């Protein structure tokens, strides 16, 4: 039950062979996977057991794989009958990976049976039992040991394949130039391998891709906002050049109220001031026109007002006073006379109205105002 005599020799061989193997340039996990597949068919293949030992000694190895490789190598020692080496390897594994104790679920009952000669006492008729040499137990492997050993080897192969697939997919995602496709690949990768503890590079790459997409979306939104603002400014300018000045003023005021710090605010404010000045001038001219029209109307109505308010009474004309006392036969119409008759006519023969008869009545008549 002592340690296997070839263990020191194996360690010396590992010290010589390890640099040569590392110089070969083969991926460590690929070699470990290949060795594990061979050990499933040949459980005690010495070259492949050396691969397990080398992987365990490499401190940069994956902790998950290193723990399983250490467990498989310890059980390989047990399969060779090196119980002491197995116990030491089991203790080292438990101390190094206390959370993985279940990887070596083996106790002495899995590789020792009670001695039939001494019935487990270690003595036979007060002498040392020749079968168990006083230990009370004989070495006999349980089938569970081989099953557990093969299970650890299968886990190693599966983990190596998973690591290779994960590394390849991560590399493909890093090479993807399309941000949307890269995000899709990385999200699928992190979801598929959520149980892994080395997802930091994938998550970091995913965060960078998401940040790029968000930045691109912000740039697109900012560009769209600038274009929309430019279109609105052009529409306002076109409206200001139109005939509906009041609507243009309302739209400009509303836009400047909502966007007081816009890049085109100064230009639109100047345009608004110009429209307000024109509108003020138009209203002033309109008021002047209205006032002028009112004055002209008043001037036109003044004669009518004066006619109706200050209408003059027309006096009734009649015959002069005293005309009824005159002898009309003595008068001749001057218009009926010819030039010769007029010259031949004696002025002194012209009949005159006696002043004495009509003078007083004429004076009385003139003193009364006409009705």
Q: Which helix (H) or strand (E) holds 114?
A: strand 112-114
Query: CB of 222 within 8 A of CB of 213?
Result: no
List the Cα angle 10/14/18 in 5-degree steps: 165
Q: State the pLDDT at residue 122.
A: 57
Q: State the pLDDT at residue 260.
A: 84
252 vs 269: CA distance, rounded Å: 8
Q: State the pLDDT at residue 191.
A: 92
Q: State the pLDDT at residue 22.
A: 39
257 vs 233: CA distance, rounded Å: 14
- In the chain, helix, strand, coil percent, each to 5? 70, 0, 25
For the record, the structure tokens of 183 come out as 């995000």
pLDDT digits (tens, 9 = 90+) for 43-99: 899 999 999 999 999 888 888 999 999 999 999 999 998 989 999 999 999 999 999
Ranges in the chain, pLDDT < 50: 1-26, 348, 353, 355, 357-360, 363, 370-371
Q: Is the dihedral of CA 44, 49, 50, 51 positive or negative?
A: positive
Residues in Cβ contact with 132 at an 8 Å cutoff, skipping those fewer than 6 apart: 115, 117, 118, 122, 138
Q: How distant, in Å, are the alpha carbons of 2, 110, 118, 123 from that of 134?
A: 14, 20, 8, 6
Q: State the pLDDT at residue 334.
A: 66
Cα 278 off chain centre by: 42
pTM assigned to the model: 0.51
Q: State the pLDDT at residue 104.
A: 93
């Amino acid at each position: 039950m002592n340690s296997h005599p070839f263990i020191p020799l194996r360690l010396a061989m590992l010290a010589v062979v390890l640099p040569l193997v590392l110089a070969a340039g083969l991926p460590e996990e690929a070699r470990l996977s290949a060795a594990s597949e061979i050990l499933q068919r040949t459980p005690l293949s010495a070259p492949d057991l050396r691969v397990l030992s080398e992987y365990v000694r490499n401190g940069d190895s994956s902790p998950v794989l290193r723990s399983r490789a250490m467990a498989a190598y310890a059980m390989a020692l047990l399969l060779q009958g090196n119980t002491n080496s197995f116990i030491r390897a089991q203790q080292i594994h438990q101390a190094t990976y206390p959370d993985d104790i279940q990887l070596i679920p083996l106790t002495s009952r899995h590789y020792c049976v009670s001695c039939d000669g001494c019935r487990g006492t270690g003595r036979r008729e007060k002498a040392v039992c020749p079968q168990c040499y006083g230990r009370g137990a004989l070495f006999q492997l349980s089938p569970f040991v081989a099953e557990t050993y093969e299970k650890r080897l299968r886990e190693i192969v599966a983990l190596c394949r998973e690591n290779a697939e994960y590394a390849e997919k991560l590399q493909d995602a890093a090479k993807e130039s399309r941000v949307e496709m890269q995000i899709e690949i990385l999200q699928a990768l992190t979801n598929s391998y959520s149980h892994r503890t080395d997802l930091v590079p994938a998550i970091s790459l995913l965060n960078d891709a998401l940040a790029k997409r968000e930045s691109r979306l912000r740039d697109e939104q900012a560009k769209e906002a600038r274009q929309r603002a430019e279109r609105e400014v052009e529409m306002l300018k076109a409206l200001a050049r139109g005939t509906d000045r009041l609507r243009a003023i309302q739209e400009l005021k509303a836009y400047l109220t909502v966007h007081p710090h816009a890049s085109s605010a100064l230009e639109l404010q100047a345009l608004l001031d110009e429209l307000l000045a024109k509108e003020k001038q138009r209203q002033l001219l309109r008021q002047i026109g209205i006032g002028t029209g009112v004055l002209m109307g008043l001037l036109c109505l003044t004669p009518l007002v004066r006619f109706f308010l200050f209408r003059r009474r027309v006096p009734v004309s009649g015959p002069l006073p005293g005309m009824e006392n005159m002898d009309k036969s003595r008068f001749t119409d001057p218009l009926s006379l010819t030039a010769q008759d007029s010259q031949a006519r004696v002025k002194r023969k012209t009949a005159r109205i006696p002043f004495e008869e009509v003078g007083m009545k004429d004076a009385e008549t003139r003193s009364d105002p006409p009705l």
